[in-house]
Structure formats: C-alpha cells, structure tokens
Amino acid sequence: NAGVTQTPKFQVLKTGQSMTLQCAQDMNHEYMSWYRQDPGMGLRLIHYSVGAGITDQGEVPNGYNVSRSTTEDFPLRLLSAAPSQTSVYFCASSYKSGANVLTFGAGSRLTVL
C-alpha cells in the first residue's frame, strides 16, 4: 500500500516555464488537495477536489490549475512559473467519512529561477 505518491521530488524551473506535479493515491480516498509550505507560514491550501471531475479553489490558487479525471490522480499544473512559486508542495487525501484526517505525500520541492 503506497499511500500518496508525489513526483518529482525535486524540480528546478526557469521563470515562464510550465510543469505538472503528479499526485496519486491508492487508498480510494474521495477527497484530495494540494498545499504549499513556505518558511514561517505553515501549509496553505491551493486547490482541492471532492471527487472525480469536481475541483475548487483554496486559499492561494493563482498561477495553478488542477483537474481530477480519476479518483486516484490529482495533478497540479503551473502554467507559467514565477519565482514566488518556489516552495515545497504537498498532495494530501482523505476519506469522506474522516475528512480531516489527511494522508500527505512526501512533498515536491520546486525552485523557480
């Protein structure tokens, strides 16, 4: 049972480049979400999904897109990377019945030059 798998673990981009952070879970969780972690600011919600085909914005959605075509996968897309998007990104998932008990992936560290 792998839990929540994120790829890549590290990525360096130049300003203006695009990329996709991948997230997959094998626990059949209904809810999935993306957070970013910046020093001294805790984790902030970017986007979340309550099921396949349903996504919504979190606290800091600008510059990011998401989609959820299957229960298992929830990729995060950066359309035109900016230095302000340098951060550590975490994907998380949870059951509908225990929505607040999140299982997190190991994180993806992104640097935008």
Binding site for other proteins (CB under 8 A): 4, 31-33, 35, 40-45, 48, 50, 58-59, 90, 92-94, 99-102, 104-107
Strand 31-37 vs strand 87-94: parallel, antiparallel, or unpaired?
Answer: antiparallel
User: 55 and 46 in contact (C-beta within 8 Å)?
Assistant: no
By C-beta, is 9 or 84 nearer to other proteins? 9
In a 13 Å sphere around the CA of 37, the CA atoms on its Cβ side amount to 12
**Shortest approach of other proteins to residue 50 CB, angstroms?**
5
Report the residue number, 66 or 105, with the smaller CB distance to other proteins. Answer: 105
Token pair, residue 47, equals 């986007």
Query: Please, what is the minimum distance in Å from the beta carbon of residue 52 to other proteins?
Result: 14
Closer to other proteins by CB, 85 or 94: give it. Answer: 94
Nearer CB in complex with other proteins: 78/105: 105
Q: Which of 98, 55, 95 has the alpha carbon at shortest distance from 76? A: 55
What minimum distance in Å lies between the beta carbon of 23 and other proteins?
11
**Is-contact 5 24, C-beta < 8 A?**
yes
